[in-house]
Amino acid sequence: MITLILFGPPGGGKGTQAVNLVEKYGLLHISTGDLFRYEMKNDTPLGLEAKSYIEKGELVPDSVTIGMLKNKMDANKDVKGYILDGFPRTVPQAEALDELLASDGNEVTALIALEVDDEVLIERLQGRAATSGRADDADVNIIKNRIEVYKSQTSVVAEYYGKVEKTAYVNGVGSIAEVTNRLSDAIDTFLD
């Protein structure tokens, strides 16, 4: 079972690239952001709880996020593997993921981190606000907070997997196809 973590700051291109990688490697794409947006659209209790954090650009609490991810993975065990987009975003989430995979005799294959400068991130997120319809893309202060949260709470996850030599960094600036090629090259070094 392959479990790839597609990592990087908001606006780094994780969602766009995940679509290409899923096709290439035949993995199931799990985006916790997409799962939260689905719950919010349907006004579920989980959606309502998540909304109060997401609209401020804060992280949804670990217990809520881990529970949702676990449900999604448990419901999809008969797959070749997963490409996780937007999870884990904290070290406790990474530890929970490791435990979850270990309970089935599996482990994280690799974490591939997209690197993009802040100015480019802000430009991309503001640019996509019109088409994404996302409230958290529409306000530059929320965008800046999401980038700060990435730096203060999330970037350590790349170091966490780096300690066990599972992290690779990839330049996330370029055409979509160029970045997909760089990501594939990085991923292939972790596959048999």
**Residue 168 and residue 112: Cα distance in Å, rounded?**
5
The verdict on whether 37 is a catalytic residue reads: no
Q: Does 124 bind ligand AMP (CB under 6 A)?
A: no
Size of the site for ligand AMP (CB under 6 A): 17
Cβ atoms of 52 and 135 closer than 8 Å: no
Q: Is 139 exposed, middle or buried (0-12, 13-18, 19+ CB in 10 A)?
A: middle
Q: What are the C-alpha distances in Å from 159 to residues 34, 108, 163?
A: 25, 14, 6
56 carries an active-site annotation: no
Residues 135 to 174 in contact with ligand AMP, rule: CB under 6 A? 136, 146
Asked whether 93 and 65 are in contact (CB, 8 A), the reply is yes
**Least spacing, CB of residue 88 vs ligand AMP, in Å:** 6
Please identify which residue in 21, 60, 110, 116 interacts with ligand AMP, judged by CB under 6 A: 60
CB of 65 to ligand AMP, least distance (A): 4
Question: Which of these segments, 29-37, 114-122, 174-182, 183-191, binds ligand AMP (CB under 6 A)?
Answer: 29-37
134 is catalytic: yes
CA distance 166 to 160: 9
Which residue ranges make up the site for ligand AMP (CB under 6 A)? 10, 32-33, 36, 53-54, 57-60, 65, 86-87, 89, 93, 136, 146
Catalytic residues, which ones? Answer: 14, 89, 128, 134, 146
